[in-house]
Amino acid sequence: MPDGLEIQESDALLITDVQNDFCPGGGLAVPDGHEVVPIINRLATSFRTVILTQDWHPLGHLSFASSHSSKMPFDTITLEHGEQILWPDHCVQDTPGAELYPGLKVPHAQLILRKGYHRDIDSYSAFLENDQITPTGLAGYLRERGLTRVLLAGLALDFCVRYSAEDACRCGFKAIVIEDACRAIDTDDGSLGAARQSFAELAIMSIKSTELNLIA
């Protein structure tokens, strides 16, 4: 019997925001973001349920620094629901930057969940928008299919992957982050360290893809 983690029929692989704008040359490129693609392609073949998320912002989105006078990318503002980092324009609806990265090969993915499409609120998590009130519907989708464990991969580890993993736990699912199938932005205030601390506090398991028993 293999010693690795067994993939179960009640598992979902959640592939987060592997889009052109988060890869080299994109509007908000995550360092080495494209390197996750072959790992994810290999992983996905072992999962019955694969879900993709796609950042899908309108022009003038609240999270864009360009939407705020005298603000620069990576400045912060305070909103009713908390602090908001201001980003370079990225993943604008119906632009090449918002498209899934062309090397991503997961033809059996059943769902593409678009998030961040409301102009006045950001949405890091695949489960809840940043107000922590408005659901995306993903929790219900998983429950209706009897799925209980979510394994996460994609971009960026310290933002959309992190908040999706946290909300998966809060919604009653077991969350596992596949770290080598993710890359991080790691902002100056230590966002990657904060993500790992959060994973530890919420008992979110972090593994490497080599620790999974993949179907040959």
d(CA 215, CA 98): 31
115 noted as active-site residue: yes
pLDDT (mean) for 170-186? 97
pLDDT for 1 equals 38
pLDDT (mean) for 153-166? 98
Is 203 a residue whose pLDDT tops 60?
Answer: yes
Per the confidence metrics, is the pTM higher than 0.85? yes
Here the tokens at position 37 are 């693609």
The domain ranges of the chain are: 5-58+89-213
- pLDDT digit string (tens) for 82-103? 899 999 999 999 999 999 999 9
CA max distance for the chain: 60
Mean pLDDT, all residues of the chain: 95
Name the catalytic one among 115, 122, 167, 182. 115
pLDDT band of 81, cuts 50, 70, 90: confident
* CATH code of the domain made up of 5-58+89-213: 3.40.50.850
- The separation between the first and the last C-alpha atoms of the chain, rounded to the nearest angstrom, is 15
17 noted as active-site residue: yes
- pLDDT digit string (tens) for 48-74? 999 999 999 999 999 999 999 999 999
Do 101 and 17 meet the contact criterion of CB atoms below 8 Å apart? no
122 noted as active-site residue: no
Name the catalytic one among 91, 160, 169, 182. 160
> Exposed, middle or buried, 211 (CB in 10 Å: 0-12/13-18/19+)?
middle
Q: Which residues of 104-139 are buried (b: 16+ CB within 10 A; e: fewer)?
A: bebeebeeebbbbebeebbbbbbbbbbeeeeebebb
